Structure 1
Amino acid sequence: MPDRYADIRPYQDDEVAAVLERVSQSDTLHRALLKYRLPMLPHWLREWLLPVARYLLDRQLANVNTVHDFQMWMEGWVERLLAKTTTDVVVRGLDSMPPDQGHLWISNHRDIAMDPTLINYSLYQAGWPTSRIAIGDNLLSHPDIADVMRLNKSFIVRRNITNKREKLTALQQLSGYIRYSLAQRESVWIAQREGRAKNGVDLTDKAVLKMLALNGREHKETFAETLSALRPVPVCIQYEWDPCDLMKARELVARAKYGSYSKEEGEDTRSLLTGIVGQKGTIHVDFGQPLSDDDLASAETMAAAIDRQIRDMTEILPVHHAAVRLLQQRFSCYLQARAGDSSRQIQDTLWQRIEGEAQDVQKQVLTGYAMPILLQQNMADG
């Protein structure tokens, strides 16, 4: 029986050995690992150490024979990464749901790699099975990255399709794969929208929800019947500090000035790596309540319910207060916003991140950090 999802699904256990053989031959991957572990070494010395890196990685992966083995190996890397780049990871909400049932986790989208990583880290720490991960094909242009992601239970969302008929076929395949995964009691993570919320406003794209419902058309199901079978649960992910804050602000300013923004070659990969290795402070991962039948009546009601839960789970942090204060002091804007106390140290740290930037970029970064308060007080511009 042909595998109708072979070109988008994660790798399976019987494919792991061949994929690891490819990965073990990748100098690009070995260079990235050396740069991550030994960033202070000069480039020429890291090049000299490439054979050592290859040997050590081969040894570490020698007993990896299944996807679960690979994820257990990755777990050590994630633990070290979070210890190095965060002060704490606070996870809430999983104790109200059964772990033996697949769920569709629909989260806000702030970081390319860390959002799904934190979902699976939270699940693993709570004793849950990890979830399958939806990831755009724009991030998989390098075959080594594609191999590692698909070993780590990622499946592909095809975005770079212009032909309408081909795009519909790809969306139907994607919708079918998500439904198939949930039927196997495999949880799935998907972002509430295509692309990160660079301005700090988390809004669900109804097109994503309509894609999820496509599979139901084959069975003549209503929107509510299809989405109910997926057991959707909103998730809110918050980073105290966003390693990509300046990159996001520069893009938004360019779009506002010129009406468009053209990414440089490799920009998505740089954003991915910056988000991974940058300092994030405290991270909050809040799992919400399963959506009710009333919430699932239509794409509109479902989007509103997801947005409402994510907004309610968003915690106001000291850095948000500091951003409002700096907007008021430096730019004389949002003067009616009510900001609570924030230490001078946090304000100074926030300003030091942006003081060398153009004023419009400075203001955009501060507005992004202030957004939870501005939204709460109905003062956001858009």
Structure 2
Amino acid sequence: MRIAIVTESFLPTTNGVTNSVCKVLDHLRAEGHEAMVIVPAAGSPSEYAGFPVHEVPAIAYRQFPVGLPSPHVQRLIAAFRPDVVHAASPFLLGAQAIAAAGRLGVPSVAIFQTDVAGYARRNHLGAATAFAWRMVRWIHNGAALTLVPSSASMHDLEAAGIRGLARWGRGVDLVRYHPANRVDPATTALRDRLAPDGEVVVGYVGRIAPEKQVERFAALRGLPGVRLAIVGDGPSTPAVRRALAGMPVTWLGRLGGAELAAAYASFDVFVHTGSEETFGQTLQEAFASGVPVVAPRSGGPIDLVEHGVNGFLFEPTDDAGLRAAVTLLSRDLGLRLRMGEAGRRSVLARSWHAVCGELVGHYEQTVAAAAPKTILRSS
């Protein structure tokens, strides 16, 4: 197949959208497909996995490039002659790509990954929340198929009147993130740094931004024998540092590769604090590492955390529930080990190879469904 991937985020920016796109491109190359990538201008590489990467004009917003409408998008798609257009977390650039695909008679698959409407609601933007949903509906109803990562997202999009929905989750690297990393020298050295007296390490990995609500770790203040480890950075770092002042926290900054895998393996408990996660990729990485998870009963974590089996869910605004779950796990090594093992089992079928194979199946079904319309339009 020939796939044109249009993404709102790409290297050198690192986040969930970028990571998913790179994994998809790796899979397409391994399986012999052809692809090209259109991205907002941000100093991206000229190719990835042997596929060309084309930049289009963009502006910076909150440290991220935002692609602007450009006639170059339709010209690039037309010249490539794809079987399908893949719009990753579509906003301005993705919306233009979906519209261009429609004009060219090419079916498009949109990946819902960023809760734009949730952002408007959280920031008390009032009428802007309804406007955000109108934008989401307009963008995604232009695509032949929208793939959603969780049951919560499916419910929200169905309620918003968005058609042509199907589930597609995210994969996890089961080799890089593995319980065996616990005995790796790099992990043991990090563990000695994080818990010099054998304390229980409660960890977080992710962007430190308002929607992640990392300041909620303050609910764990005063728990005996517990130390915090926070991996990541972002615009809320100064505010979160102030909120956690005086607590035993090690700030590890942004990590990747083997260093990130070692960080996960050094945790005893993984805590996710944000209640607006559309999926929860870091939860999967913690599970793959054999670490139990504590997360809000909201959004993507609902599908990933089996309460009482591989971790605990707490009510989204209940800091006391968050504290109680971490307290229980911090006091019971056997429970942590059992839940960690259950977490690993829960993601064994979610390798990136398997998940990207599902995506190609969605491409094929979308192209097949569009074939009669394409024939009529060209006749």
Tell me the TM-score normalized by structure 2: 0.26
**Bigger RCO (CA 8 Å, 6+ sep):** 1
Tell me the TM-score normalized by structure 1: 0.26
Q: Which has a greater percent of strand? A: 2
Q: Which has a greater percent of helix? A: 1
